[in-house]
């Protein structure tokens, strides 16, 4: 069925007004600031609430994998994070030292992160699913002083590489008798380090196509953007129940799974268990989730079970669904309408931007497949740069690199130990994102692909996302990954790796049917020339399909940094 290009929002359905011009100074004034001056994320997230009207509101509603349940108020979270801060101090952690946190999604993870921020440490949450080598690489690069983990994770993943991390002075195993005693005896009151907006807060690692992961440094001033964007891009309101499904080992799980909801004073659901469709629907229903922030991969996994599974659950509290991590295919946005009666609002940002930059907000009509529009206070453009300099592209539909006017509060302040690489990201006051995009006549931005993913075929520049989205419109296709394969005549041809929905089996007849659908939908110049059926696609732990890895495996090339690769992919 042909879908209309826009999902219109009725005036009655708008919870926030359209974005108005906003100065970051004005947004900063909405925060409390440290008593006596300064700015610290942990103070804005918990301590200021712990002594006010929200002291006894549930900050974190934790759902254990085995059925346990625990609710932690803002007062309790402030106290527990202060205990962690005292323990860090007793271990010699000073302002600027690096604290790494390697835990599953347990309540202590959140308190450990906040406690590190109270000390003025540079905090780096790590995926519990990382193997020993990725852990060692990150802790060595970040010059980690303290690692917070559990005894089981230490034995399985840290012990064998502990001798290769010379700066690591202490490992705090949370379930050990020593750590339990230290935390029990620590004070629940802590004088927060007097940090400034420009002091380092978080260290997030992002995977490159080759070589070592990059350590992006973020500052306490980012909380200004976390606060403003959570309200505008995620439509968070007082007394909301919010669920961000991202693990804190991914920047989304830190910025919008820890900081933003706590700064807003809402209740966050934290699920310890891994993805399970029925469990997720049950959580949405039982916890009365109002705002749900998840990833395209998770949405596509839910889509495999059909809209009927969602419709069986009454979800009257759910009013806003958002997605980030990779572009959301138009078919997934429409599936949200079928399954929940709500569109899924895609938004765009990067580890380097620190916060949401472009979004389909609650106030906007949604164009399925679009990233949306820049948030108030964010200036975005399309540009091309060459040896002669950069040029901004003004015309609708012109493709180029997405650039952002430098200076937003959550902008990363460096790559750890790679000053020259950091400088190369900027030119003429703009940050070059490495993402190719275009802007339409209405000001909506559309993702084309990573600059190193774009396929050049017979003079055409082909964005993999467009091809993948068209393939997913076929009734048999659950997911697709598209690469450019070298060709002596046209440079590159489009090759697609396709995962099928349950009930469909690979066959030559189906392959030809999918090829025919793609040709009708995209035209012969853009449609895939080859289709391979796949049982799985390599993806990062945050859900992005690793196209470069698909290409490397197909062509027998070096795989580069695979530390962010999902286990078993």
Using one digit for the tens of pLDDT, what is the confidence trace for 170-182? 999 999 999 999 9
In a domain, 370, yes or no: yes
Whether residues 313 and 182 fall in one domain:
yes
- Per-residue pLDDT at 21: 46
Whether residues 19 and 116 fall in one domain:
yes
Task: With beta carbons less than 8 A apart as the criterion, state whether 447 and 371 touch.
Answer: yes
Note the pLDDT tens digit of each residue in 34-55.
999 999 999 999 999 999 999 9
In a domain, 502, yes or no: yes
Asked whether the predicted pLDDT for residue 351 surpasses 80, the reply is yes
User: What CATH number does the domain containing 548 carry?
Assistant: 3.30.300.30
* The last residue of a domain, from among 415, 439, 463: 439
Whole-number Å distance between alpha carbons of 168 and 352: 26
Query: Between 464-472 and 508-522, two packed helices, what is the crossing angle to 10 degrees?
Result: 120
Note the pLDDT tens digit of each residue in 48-88.
999 999 999 999 999 999 999 999 999 999 999 999 999 99
In a domain, 2, yes or no: no
Whether residues 124 and 236 fall in one domain:
yes
Asked whether the predicted pLDDT for residue 335 surpasses 80, the reply is yes
Share in percent of the chain as helix, strand, coil (round to 5): 30, 25, 45
In a domain, 38, yes or no: yes
DSSP symbol at 540: B
Whole-number Å distance between alpha carbons of 469 and 276: 24
- Please return the burial class of 197, using the count of CB atoms within 10 Å of its CB with bins 0-12, 13-18 and 19+: middle
Mean pLDDT of the chain: 90
In a domain, 475, yes or no: yes
Phi, psi of 426 (to 5 degrees): -125, 145
Overall average pLDDT of the 147-166 stretch: 94
Q: Which of 126, 377, 375, 79 is nearest to 254 (CA)?
A: 126
Whether residues 183 and 312 fall in one domain:
yes
Note the pLDDT tens digit of each residue in 388-403.
888 999 999 999 999 9
Percent of all residues in the chain with a pLDDT value above 90, rounded to a whole number: 71
In a domain, 560, yes or no: no
Residue 437, H or E segment: strand 430-439
Asked whether the predicted pLDDT for residue 210 surpasses 50, the reply is no
Query: Between 177-185 and 74-90, two packed helices, what is the crossing angle to 10 degrees?
Result: 110
- Per-residue pLDDT at 87: 98
Quickly state the pLDDT bin for 560 (edges 50, 70, 90).
low
Whether residues 164 and 280 fall in one domain:
yes
- Per-residue pLDDT at 453: 72
Quickly state the pLDDT bin for 279 (edges 50, 70, 90).
very high
Q: Which of 321, 272, 330, 326 is nearest to 540 (CA)?
A: 326
In a domain, 564, yes or no: no
Whether residues 434 and 528 fall in one domain:
no
Domain assignment of residue 503, given as a range: 453-555
Whether residues 270 and 398 fall in one domain:
yes
- Per-residue pLDDT at 466: 78
Task: With beta carbons less than 8 A apart as the criterion, state whether 455 and 464 touch.
Answer: yes
Whether residues 398 and 462 fall in one domain:
no
Q: Which regions of 451-503 does DSSP assign to beta strands (E)?
A: 455-457, 460-462, 477-487, 491-500
Note the pLDDT tens digit of each residue in 119-151.
999 999 998 888 888 888 899 999 999 999 999
Burial 431-442 (b: 16+ CB within 10 A, else e): bbbebbbbbeee
Percent of all residues in the chain with a pLDDT value above 70, rounded to a whole number: 93
Whole-number Å distance between alpha carbons of 76 and 300: 37
In a domain, 303, yes or no: yes
Note the pLDDT tens digit of each residue in 539-558.
776 667 888 888 888 888 77
- Per-residue pLDDT at 17: 43
- List Cα–Cα distances, 323 to 332, 344, 480, 567, in angstroms: 10, 7, 18, 23
Q: Which of 274, 170, 289, 313 is nearest to 241 (CA)?
A: 289
Whether residues 204 and 352 fall in one domain:
yes
Residue 331, H or E segment: helix 330-340
Whether residues 411 and 524 fall in one domain:
no
Total of domains in the chain: 2
**3-class state of residue 152 by DSSP:** helix
- Per-residue pLDDT at 460: 63
- List Cα–Cα distances, 179 to 173, 174, 185, 313, 333, in angstroms: 6, 5, 10, 42, 46
**3-class state of residue 320 by DSSP:** strand
Whether residues 428 and 514 fall in one domain:
no
Backbone dihedral region for residue 312 (phi beyond 0: left; psi -120 to 50: alpha; all else: beta): alpha
Note the pLDDT tens digit of each residue in 439-490.
999 999 999 887 777 787 765 667 787 788 889 889 999 999 998 888 877 7
- Per-residue pLDDT at 69: 97
Q: Give this prediction's pTM.
A: 0.84
Radius of gyration of the chain (CA): 23
Q: Which residues contact 165 (CB under 8 A, 6 or more apart)?
A: 136, 139, 140, 144
Q: Tokens for 210?
A: 């080759």
Task: Give the DSSP per-residue string, 199-214.
Answer: SEEEEEEE--SSSSPE
DSSP symbol at 343: -
Phi, psi of 339 (to 5 degrees): -85, -40
User: What CATH number does the domain containing 404 carry?
Assistant: 3.40.50.12780
Whether residues 361 and 486 fall in one domain:
no
Note the pLDDT tens digit of each residue in 399-419.
999 999 999 999 999 999 999
Give, rounded to a whole angstrom, the gap between the first and last alpha carbons of the chain. 34
Its sign, for the CA torsion 520, 524, 525, 531, is positive
Overall average pLDDT of the 214-221 stretch: 96
* The last residue of a domain, from among 410, 439, 468: 439
């Amino acid at each position: 069925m042909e879908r209309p290009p826009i999902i219109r929002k009725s005036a009655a359905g708008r919870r926030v007004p359209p974005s108005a011009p906003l100065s970051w100074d004005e947004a900063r004034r909405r925060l409390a600031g440290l008593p006596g001056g300064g700015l610290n994320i942990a103070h804005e997230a918990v301590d200021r609430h712990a002594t006010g009207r929200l002291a006894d509101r549930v900050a974190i509603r934790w759902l254990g994998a085995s059925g346990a349940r625990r609710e932690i108020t803002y007062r309790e979270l402030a106290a527990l994070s202060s205990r962690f801060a005292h323990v860090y101090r007793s271990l010699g952690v000073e302002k600027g030292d690096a604290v790494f946190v390697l835990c599953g999604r347990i309540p202590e993870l959140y308190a450990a992160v906040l406690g590190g921020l109270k000390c003025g440490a540079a905090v780096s949450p790590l995926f519990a699913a990382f193997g020993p080598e990725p852990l060692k690489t990150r802790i060595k690069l970040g010059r980690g002083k303290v690692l917070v983990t559990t005894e089981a994770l230490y034995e399985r993943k840290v012990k064998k590489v502990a001798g290769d991390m010379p700066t690591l002075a202490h490992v705090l195993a949370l379930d050990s008798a020593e750590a339990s005693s230290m935390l029990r005896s620590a004070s629940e009151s802590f004088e927060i380090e007097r940090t400034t907006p420009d002091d380092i807060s978080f260290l997030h690692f992002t995977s490159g196509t080759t070589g070592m992961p990059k350590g992006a440094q973020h500052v306490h001033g980012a909380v200004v953007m976390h606060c403003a964007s959570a309200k505008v891009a995620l439509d968070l309101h007082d007394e909301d129940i919010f669920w961000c499904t991202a693990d804190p080992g991914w920047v989304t799980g830190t910025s919008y799974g820890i900081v933003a909801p706590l700064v807003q004073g809402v209740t966050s659901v934290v699920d310890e268990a891994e993805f399970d469709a029925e469990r997720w629907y049950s959580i949405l229903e039982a916890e009365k989730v109002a705002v749900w922030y998840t990833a395209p991969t998770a949405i596509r996994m839910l889509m495999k079970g059909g809209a009927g599974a969602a419709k069986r659950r009454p979800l009257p509290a759910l009013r806003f669904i958002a997605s980030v991590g990779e572009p959301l295919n138009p078919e997934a946005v429409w599936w949200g309408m079928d399954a929940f009666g709500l569109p899924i609002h895609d938004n765009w940002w990067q580890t380097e931007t620190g916060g949401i930059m472009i979004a389909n907000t609650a106030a906007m009509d949604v164009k399925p497949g679009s990233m949306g529009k820049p948030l108030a206070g964010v200036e975005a453009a399309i540009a091309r740069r060459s040896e002669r300099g950069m040029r901004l592209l003004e015309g609708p539909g012109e493709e180029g690199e997405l650039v952002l006017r430098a200076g937003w509060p959550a902008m990363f302040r460096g790559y750890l130990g790679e000053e020259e690489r950091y400088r190369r990201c900027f030119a003429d006051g703009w940050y070059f994102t490495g993402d190719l995009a275009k802007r339409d006549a209405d000001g909506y931005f559309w993702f084309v692909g990573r600059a190193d993913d774009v396929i050049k075929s017979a003079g055409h520049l082909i964005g993999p996302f467009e091809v993948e989205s068209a393939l997913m419109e076929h009734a048999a296709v659950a997911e697709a990954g598209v690469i450019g394969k070298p060709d002596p005549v046209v440079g590159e041809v489009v090759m697609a790796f396709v995962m099928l929905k349950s009930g469909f089996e690979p066959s030559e007849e189906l392959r030809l049917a999918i090829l025919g659908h793609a040709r009708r939908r995209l035209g012969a110049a853009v449609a895939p020339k080859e289709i391979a059926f796949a049982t799985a696609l390599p993806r990062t732990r945050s859900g992005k399909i690793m196209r470069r890895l698909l290409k490397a495996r197909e062509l027998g090339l070096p795989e580069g940094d695979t530390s962010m690769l999902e286990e078993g992919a």
